[in-house]
Structures are given as C-alpha cells and as structure tokens.
Chains A and B, each alone.
Chain A
Amino acid sequence: MSEIERHSFDVVVIGAGGAGLRAAIEARMQGKRVAIVCKSLFGKAHTVMAEGGIAAAMGNVNSHDNWQVHFRDTMRGGKFLNSWRMAELHAKEAPTRVWELETYGALFDRTPDGKISQRNFGGHEYPRLAHVGDRSGLELIRTLQQKIVSLQQEDYRETGDYEAKIQIFAEVTITRLLTTDGRAAGAFGYFRETGNFVSFEAPAVILATGGIGKTFKVTSGSWEYTGDGHALAMRAGATTLNMEFIQFHPTGMVWPPSVKGILVTESVRGDGGVLTNSEGTRFMFNYIPDVFKDKYATTPEEADRWYTDPDNNRRPPELLPRDEVARAINTEVKAGRGTPHGGVYLDVSSRLPADVIKKKLPSMWHQFKELADVDITKEAMEVGPTCHYVMGGVEVDPDSQETLLPGLFAAGEVSGGLHGSNRLGGNSLSDLLVFGRRAGLGAAEYVEALPTRPAVTDAMLTEAEAEALAPFSNVGDENPYTIHADLQNTMNDLVGIIRTESEMVDALARLQDFKVRVKNSGVKGGRAFNPGWHLALDLKNMLLVAEAVAKASLDRQESRGGHTRDDYPKMSDEWRKLNIVCRYDGEGAVIEHQPMQPMRPDLLELFDVEELKKYLTAEELPTHDAGSDH
C-alpha cells in the first residue's frame, strides 16, 4: 500500500452542489465535523447551470398558492408515481428553505412590494419560482458557498482555524464507499491534481453527486454527471429506484453541433415564448393529453390572455409538463415538420420587446449570441429535447434520506422518489434545499446515536487502492474516450426518449460488450491530473448506471412521464403501484419489484375522485366525494 492520506470526520458529504452544501451546512449547525468532497473546484457544481428558479409556495405573486396546491402539482407532474411523503415534505418546507437563503445573503428578484418575486413554470398552477433572471442556480450555489465561508469564519473566531468544523476537498474523486459490518464507514478516492489517494473515515456519508447525463450523447449535463453516487451506493449494498424515468428537457440547443444539448430555460416559455414547427403552426395545442384537458387553453387567443389574466383563462400548452412537450417536439420533427437542424422553433422575439428579453433572459441572450450567432430578440431559436435529469435514484427514507445501507444518506438528484416519473421545473432546486437539509440532519442524528465509530482497516484501503489503479495495468489498446462515445450513442439511440423492447435488448447486449472493452482500455501517462485515467474510472460508474436504466426501462411495460414505450403506449394503473428497485450483485445491475405504499388518506383527500381515477386502480380509490379547493 502506498502512502494514503487519512482523514477522520463525523460526516462526509460527496458532492458540492446545492444538496451537498445544504447538507454540510446542516450537519455543521448540528455540531458535527464535516468534510465536503467534490470533483470540480468549489462553487462549480452542476447546480450553477440551473436557470429557472426554486419552486416554493410562498404565495407572493398569487396568494391562492399554498403547500397543498404545490403538492398536487408535483404529484400530477410525476403521474402519481412519486413518494407522496417526500412530495408532502417538499411542498411544506420549500418556502422556509427559500427564506433562509435570504438570511445567507441571497438577492432574488423582487415583487413591487419588496417580496421575493415568483415566475410561472410548466406544471405549476401559480407563479411559484423564486428566481434571479435566468441565473437562479448560480445565485443558489454562491449563496450556499458564502454561507459555508461565514460558518468557517465563525469557527475561526472560536478556534483560530477556519477548517475546524468544515473542510473542503476540491478536485477529489471518490472511487469507493467504505463499509464495516453492513454500515457506512467512509469513502476512498484520489486527488485529481496529484493522483495521490485519500480516505475519509466517517460513520455517516452523504451522497450528493447529482445525475447521470454523461451516459447520453445529447445532454444538458456537465462532465461531472457520470452517475458516481448511484454506482457507489449500489456497489456498497444500497439500492436505486425507478431508474427508467429520465427527463428529456424539451428545449436544448440543436445547433451548432458542439453545443447540442445545452439547456434553453423553460422560463422562455414561462415568460411568453411559443413553439412553432416549420409550417409556422403553434403545434402544442395538438398535444394536450386527456389528464390535463381541463387545465390548458385550446386556442392561441385564450393562451395569450392567460399571461395577463391567469384567473379567467387556462394556461398555454407550451407550459405542459416537460415530458409532454419533449414528446410533442420529437413527434413534430419525426413527421418532417422540423427546422433545418432537426429541432423546432422557440420564439420570444415576436412576443416581447427586445429590452424585456435582455432583462428577463440575459444568459439565454448571451448564450445564443456567443455560441450560435443568433440574436433571440430578433429571431427564433432552434431547440430540441436533451437529456436533463434522472427522476430515479438511490432509494431513501423520505424523512431522513437514509439509504438501505445504515449511515449512508443521499439527497438531490442522486436520490429517487420525490419526482415520480417526471419532475416539474423548479422542483429540483427546492428538492436540493429541503432534502439536503434533511440529509444533514439525518446524518447528524445517526452519528449522535451510534455507540462506536466503524473501523477502517488497512486491508480495506489496500483493496480500494488496487481497484483505482487497475486501469494502469490494463494492456489492451481500447481508448476510453471512444468507449464513452459509443456508450453515449447507444443510450441516446436505443434507450432514449422513445423506447421499444428490441432496441433495449440490443442496448443491453452492447453494454456487456462495453464492460469487456473497458477492461481492455489501458491508460497512458502518470497519475497527476490525468483525464484519461479519470474517464476510465468514471466509465465503470456510467456502465453500471446505464445497465440499471436499460434493465428497468425494458421491464416497465407502460408509458409514464420520462419513460415512453412505443410498444406499450398507455399508462397502466397496475404498473403505477410498483417501484422497480435495482441492486448490484457483484457483476451488474439486477432488478426486482417493490409495491408502492398507498397514499395517506388526508393527502388523497386533496384530490377530486374524478382526477384520482385517471391514475389509481379501482380498489385504491377513496370514498370521499370531492373536497379540494381548486
């Protein structure tokens, strides 16, 4: 065993996006010593790219809003496959979490009476997203980062050491979770800069590693999105849930090729932008599904009136949940009504004055101007679906965020349950805050109650080290970059937005082939900042995650939210009652079915029975008549 830098903490947080930082803040406020470990520089995590805002029923813009309405919207958006307990906690706690950010120094856009302004977004009944222009994620991450600095300043005043309670390990990749007697015991990884190994020994580990976007070719995700947390959790004995549900955001850039997939915020539509095909038709009116028929406008006139008079008009269909819009765009392009670069048009130039566009959508204006030479105040954007978010994730207890492995917690995109089969825009940033905090609290309480710290032995570290160094001793001449590109194409083409059995069977066969090829991919160069080595290790995670996605997708014989089957186009009440759970069996991912918990009666009562009939089986229906206030 070479020299391994060994650290000891109460709680180790893996990932420094919104969920990780909020978890770290909470664990520290509970008096715990916390390490934050992240792959990028501190403050660069994927949260920074979130544009639209944080969904929280504060009722600042429309006073009818409250947690019950937000809960209903979230369940509808997820087509009732959500963990209803998480959806309840999320809707109830989100406003407090947003107000808390103001005490950390966040500066949201304001209403005329000085409160936090809230904007419209797909699937949300009322204006609900706290935002800062279209750079809300940057504001969130910077605010949390600065709160951590302020806590470190407090610790410095008390102890003379900034890092007495919170220490940040940037540009460190975790390659394995350490476990002792079926409990979390820490994490092992390497400094990207030097290639030297490091272990973080701690009774509680919080995964906040985000998503899996880099498994797909066209994605809005950054390089960090290699499914590390999902794979680490599965290898350590925890489970993932409903990995087949992947959100393809309807509007990613489609041109030029090098930026294909980069996100175009939903705010463009929330602020009045419309989708048209090559024939100039505003096509979304043709794609309003039955379950949403009474909530969306059927004519452009009514839709346009809604922006100024939302109480007396129904919403424009451009603001349907993301899965509906993405499928509609896909269908239009396939029918030959797409743009020259294979997308559809998203136009805000004919809808708002140029100065308003620049004020409300500054980074979109900037992004199109700089990357595509398109002035969105003068011409339409070309957009198409892009892999954006995984609704599935590590299975957790809804209240504490603890996984099936005691001492291992997960929060944010890496965890599963809250969003069901489809996430509403804006519910991600609120998810990070609500469940990041709960994970930090859950971890602190777990550590508190633990009689003895789990031991980490030299043998465990030696084994972890050998695993991380394996790519250097591979002798084949496979190039990890090529395998990655092949994997991305496979997932995009065969397990993408529209799925069918034969293609997924094909994908699974190819995934087996990739596993062999990874073992034959040798790494050149040394250990210091070597991206080839990094990718070889990340690939292992992506392959396990891809397998989980493909197997779960093949298994679920229905279409719901972010899982669309050509061969099973309908939603099925029976499938809704099932979670597809994934474990690692030493070779790969294996799946099993788990019945969903029936919804608590007081939450069921928030819906009309007529609406519930669209989702639930006859025996699940409650006996109450109506009762909701909408």
Chain B
Amino acid sequence: MGYTAKFKVWRGDDTGGGIEDFNVDVNEGEVVLDIIHRLQATQAPDLAVRWNCKAGKCGSCSAEVNGKPRLMCMTRMSTFTEDETITITPMRTFPVIRDLVTDVSYNYEKARMVPAFAPPADLAPGDYRMAQIDVERSQEFRKCIECFMCNNVCHAVRDHEENKTTFSGPRFLMRIAELDMHPLDTVDRREVAVEDHGVGYCNITKCCTEVCPEHIKITDNAIIPLKERIADKKYDPIFSIASLFKRNKQGRQAAPDTPHATK
C-alpha cells in the first residue's frame, strides 16, 4: 500500500530558485496536495503552498504537475507509477511569490474591468422570471472556480508577457460571454470584449478547455459564440445600419410586449 515517492519541488522566490529533491511517504488514496502537506509537516515546514477546501471547489491549489496545470487536491497519486519522479512547479504565467505560490492579481484586475451585470431598471426584486433552459448557458460558465489554470495555460499570455495589458485570458472572456447570455442583462459588452479584453488574441487552440477542472467548454460555448456575435455586429451591413438607430440591447428590451425572459 504505502511507498516512498520521489518528488521534485520548485523552491524559491521572485529573486530566483530551483528544484529541490524529496523522498516522501505516500499512502493509499492520497492526492498530490496530501504529499505536499506531508513535506510541510515532516521536512520543509516553511514550504509555501496555497490551498483551501481540498475538495476541488475553491480553486486555490493550482500548480503544474509534471508540467501540466492541475489542482493538486484533485490529482490522485494512483495516476502515477511508484517509480515515477513527480515534479511540482508553480503556475508559470504568473510571477512567483514563494515556492508554489504565485501572484495572481492580474486576474482580479481583469475581473474589475468587465462591466457588471445590469438588470432592467424597472424590474423589482422578486419579479425576475427566467426559464431554466435560458439560464443554463450562463450557469455552465458560473461553475468556474477561478483556479486561473485557463489563464495560466493560454499561450497568448503564457508566452507573451507583453499581452497581459491588452488580453484578459479565457476566464474573463468567458465572464463576458456569461453576462452576454444572461437572460436579463441589458449591457452590450461586444466593444469592450475587443478593445479592453482582447478577444481577438484567442485563436481557438482550446488549451483552456483542456485544463478546466470543471470541464467547462470555454472555447466552444463561450469564446466562439462571443466572437460570432462581435463579427455579426461588425460585418453585418443590415445590423450596422439598424444599430445607427438602436444602439443597444436596452432599446430592444424596452419593447412593451417583450417578456423579460428573452434577450
């Protein structure tokens, strides 16, 4: 049952660091985060790691396990062979603070730039009516636990530090799509998606979808539809002319017999 595993863990801070070797006990049923905790308790009490729920619900313990972004709490040791060396490094896209802990403030800054949900002004609390089928599209994206692994893996920022000012990564393009598909939202974010969040940088390689621990179809269900709606607006001649008269969704929603359940 139990065995001793070979671990390599990156240790250091913003001034530099490197891989350190550890031999550490592993018991049946354990996950990578258990092993990191065992290292803390027995060999490296000041090993820095972020975690919280240890049940795949909070998205705190993201790291790269053998080069792949993973939640450490959901990576079972039984997925490795006993003689395999397991290498744990911090998420590469974000600056290291210490050991496995990175500075993810980029994500919070981008979140703040997405125009918030805006319901119709005359709709009283308690009077919201939406059909299940209409809320389901946005509900898929609201499963996001903000582990930021999609933003970590996206090559538009992973390999291009300079894009961080203009590109918000899959997490926040998905947030825009989520608000866009909210049956009662009244704001048009298409221009913001292009100008402030750089939706054009995404070339649909679907790396984000592959790493999502919640199995959200980020590219297919969020980003591609968002791109399509932007393309509609930009290139559809009839829409362009019509938009000269009615510039936003609010105008369309204000029609007296339009139920709130449609957008």
Binding site for B on A (CB under 8 A): 40-44, 46, 48-49, 95-96, 99-100, 102-105, 107-110, 112-117, 132-133, 135, 137-139, 142, 146-147, 149-150, 152-153, 162, 193, 222-224, 255-259, 262-263, 363, 366-367, 370-372, 479-482, 485, 523-526, 528-533
Contacts and interface: CB of A to CB of B under 8 A. Distances in A.
B143 A138 contact: yes
Contacts of B142: 107, 132, 138-139, 142
B52 A40 contact: yes
Nearest to B47: A531
A41 B126 contact: no
B126 A99 contact: yes
Given A49-B58, A110-B131, A525-B46, 5 more contacts: A40-B58, A44-B60, A46-B53, A259-B29, A480-B45
A100 B46 contact: no
Contacts of A100: 125
Contacts of B76: 370-371
Contacts of A262: 54-55
Interface string B2-30: 00000000000100000000000001111
B171 to A, nearest CB: 12
Interface of B: prevailing SS: loop
Interface of B: 13, 27-31, 34, 40-42, 45-60, 74, 76, 97-99, 101, 104, 108, 111-112, 114-117, 119, 125-126, 128-132, 135, 138-139, 142-146, 179, 182, 185, 261
Contacts of B145: 48, 138
A56 to B, nearest CB: 11
Contact of A363 (B50, B57, B128): B57
Given A103-B119, A114-B131, A371-B31, A132 B139 contact: yes
B56 A367 contact: yes
Given A149-B111, A258-B31, A222 B54 contact: yes
Given A105-B117, A255-B29, A531 B48 contact: yes
A49 B57 contact: yes
A216 to B, nearest CB: 15
Contact of A528 (B31, B53, B58, B98): B98
B130 A104 contact: no
B48 A371 contact: no
A533 B59 CA distance: 24
Contacts, number: 179
Contact of B48 (A114, A149, A479, A530): A530
CB-CB nearest 4 A-B residue pairs: A256-B29, A525-B46, A150-B116, A105-B117
18 contacts: A44-B52, A48-B52, A100-B125, A108-B135, A110-B132, A133-B139, A138-B145, A142-B144, A153-B112, A258-B27, A259-B29, A259-B31, A262-B55, A371-B55, A479-B41, A481-B41, A531-B47, A532-B40
Nearest to B131: A114
